[in-house]
Structure 1
């Protein structure tokens, strides 16, 4: 499925609130917090000229978030950042002064953090980030996981000291349960999706993701003309496209939002012209993108600067995992999890379709940016789908 954005808000400026969240000051704040992390390192940006040639485009770059902060996913930038911001804000209220990120490990702030509990629902990656952030500041975390989250992903969250609550049902039901229990017990919900009356914290989560754009623009030889962005509830796509729009203005790239056909709530929302929930379908292999209701904040951004919306199938995602693990020419091998290569799957589908290419002005001069949003966050599942372990992929083909 493929749909150009026909919303009346398309190409209109971001709201003042969203421009502030995703603008320069917000990105500066996210970078300051990131710099305070002990294991911070910029993630690699890979050029794939051989694959670009196969697809008939001028350049293809992939930002590899599988290397981010030891968590294997871009989500490491969002939940943990929001947790640390919220702890400092609470400390500021109680101490009666502005509290800087450099004070996170101070005794006064640690005492305050120890009395705070952060809760969220997750498909795996966001919960790991919230749990890690809480652990870093000495707070408690309670993570709600639905029936589709693998035991390996649950164990990865629990390693950060989180309390795990398993619920029956899907991701959206776990979101509602996390919000209900947190309200009863006075916990703070750190969600990557938003709903009426709950927008600021998901905005902070999105703000953390702007670091990806900052790093990519520093390394790209020229700004991209197109960016293909995977979506679950839409927060990542909105953060990336929003910050690119702020930084590049009229020269921003065309932003194409890519979802699994089995869980395309943003596509359905774009088609309807308003946020809607979709019926649950069969589980998708792209588990981190299996969401059935869009984030309201994300849609507000994407209705303005999302230029097209599309879906990819199960086999597309698995094919990309294998293609990146066994690259052409001198392209580097990249370990991409089930959801990590959905943006590239979208590009490959568009590149092979004359009508979609024309609609998006994708041609031999196009410069495309893709984000590998996760590495092998479930190594067992990765090996099953690719036929090699992540370690074998890295050993066989180191980047030049």
Structure 2
């Protein structure tokens, strides 16, 4: 594992990303609550695991329960597509509901629309599912090597799913080209020049996760987190939650670690260059953490991660596999959590950080100790059930021999 500590974290409240403020988050939450399928996902305290690794508390927000999609992505897509449709109707999202936007009256006004995206699986399934809710079509492009179950889950919504011969970043480019050729609406969870509004809506939708966590902590009388570990692919989810938290705490938020797979660590690489600009990594981006297999950072997310994260971590795949097994086989008294590769990497990271002598300096710098309460987001369940069983049952991707 490799670490970079951010000695230039920006505590200046004037630089806060105000479009991710608590007030903006409430707008997204209110719209999401107008969905018949909306429900708060569990916040799970793993007290025995916390004791075993040497911290005061561990809490896991389990997004595998979100909207029946087995991943968190539906939050962002629902809010983004809702805003897109509102724009076509000439209304604002605060003045409507999800059920109205899926009504026959609205479908008649809109006519036929096609939404398209590139995805490693979870985001595309969310786009396809939400498009169907609104009575519209979706065409979803996936990179080579995509798990069969993730492709099938998209097709089960009635969407067209096309597996390309490209990696994730080149598949995004293909989706952009097809959208321009066919007049489709692209719904991507990253940004580029001239394309920022939809990614911002997606990120605002994600902030519901921490809005719920705040209420759950108070209701469950749990201690406030001192640390949060956030996974990053392009950085949209991590940037959204960190931006929300930075606003909530006015730049004096708890310690935040950003974790990525070694072969797709574009946020880590950008931090290592140190010129404040986002930087792409190239290659196959091969990793079991499919949802994080992205080589080019979301630039609007990167600016938040650059200014407000405390550390950036690059991990081999065995760290995620270790986290999956730990969550699947809990200590007595803890609840089981079914977590996919991208969802479990943070737990694997903490267990190694707290146990390996070589990381004592990092622990000290990040103030990770017996008084720490660490929050994790389980971003997905077993979205690739074949690989899940191979890892959890058969021990695939074991820890290296010491």
Partner of 1:37: 35
Structure 2: gaps (5+ residues)? 395-402
Structure 1: gaps (5+ residues)? 389-400
Equivalences for residues 293-372 of structure 1 within 5 A:
293-352=296-355, 353-372=359-378
Residue number among 268, 283, 286 corresponding to 1:283 in the alignment: 286
Shift of residue 11 of structure 1?
2.9
Task: Indicate conservation of the 8 Å contact 2:55/2:373, yes or no.
Answer: yes
Shift of residue 107 of structure 1?
3.2
Partner of 1:393: none
Task: State how far apart, in whole Å, the 1-side matches of 2:289 and 2:181 are.
Answer: 33
Task: Indicate conservation of the 8 Å contact 1:84/1:133, yes or no.
Answer: no
Partner of 1:396: none
Task: Indicate conservation of the 8 Å contact 1:65/1:373, yes or no.
Answer: yes
1:57 is paired with a residue of what secondary structure? coil
Partner of 1:203: 200
Partner of 2:119: 122
Residue number among 148, 155, 165 corresponding to 2:162 in the alignment: 165
Equivalences for residues 1-400 of structure 1 within 5 A:
1-7=2-8, 10-13=10-13, 15=15, 18-20=17-19, 22-92=20-90, 100-101=96-97, 102-220=99-217, 221-273=222-274, 274-281=277-284, 283-352=286-355, 353-387=359-393
When residues 271 and 38 of structure 1 are mapped into structure 2, their CA distance, relative to the original with a 3 A threshold, is: same
Task: Indicate conservation of the 8 Å contact 1:88/1:99, yes or no.
Answer: no
Task: State how far apart, in whole Å, the 2-side matches of 1:186 and 1:75 are.
Answer: 24
When residues 34 and 380 of structure 1 are mapped into structure 2, their CA distance, relative to the original with a 3 A threshold, is: same
Task: Indicate conservation of the 8 Å contact 2:324/2:345, yes or no.
Answer: no
Shift of residue 81 of structure 1?
2.2
Of stretches 71-80 and 379-388 in structure 1, the one that deviates more from structure 2 is 379-388
CA deviation string 1:8-52 (max 9, x = no partner)? x63344756x312x1122211211221122221110000011111
Task: State how far apart, in whole Å, the 1-side matches of 2:90 and 2:259 are.
Answer: 40
CA deviation string 1:105-154 (max 9, x = no partner)? 33331224442211110000000111111111111111111112112101
Task: State how far apart, in whole Å, the 1-side matches of 2:292 and 2:42 are.
Answer: 23
2:375 is paired with a residue of what secondary structure? strand
When residues 97 and 277 of structure 1 are mapped into structure 2, their CA distance, relative to the original with a 3 A threshold, is: closer
Shift of residue 169 of structure 1?
1.0
When residues 97 and 368 of structure 1 are mapped into structure 2, their CA distance, relative to the original with a 3 A threshold, is: closer
2:161 is paired with a residue of what secondary structure? strand
Task: State how far apart, in whole Å, the 2-side matches of 1:83 and 1:342 are.
Answer: 29
Task: State how far apart, in whole Å, the 1-side matches of 2:93 and 2:263 are.
Answer: 49
* TM-score, normalising length: structure 2: 0.91
Shift of residue 98 of structure 1?
8.4
Please report the RMSD computed on the Cα atoms of aligned residues, expressed in angstroms: 1.9
Shift of residue 272 of structure 1?
1.2
Count of aligned pairs: 383
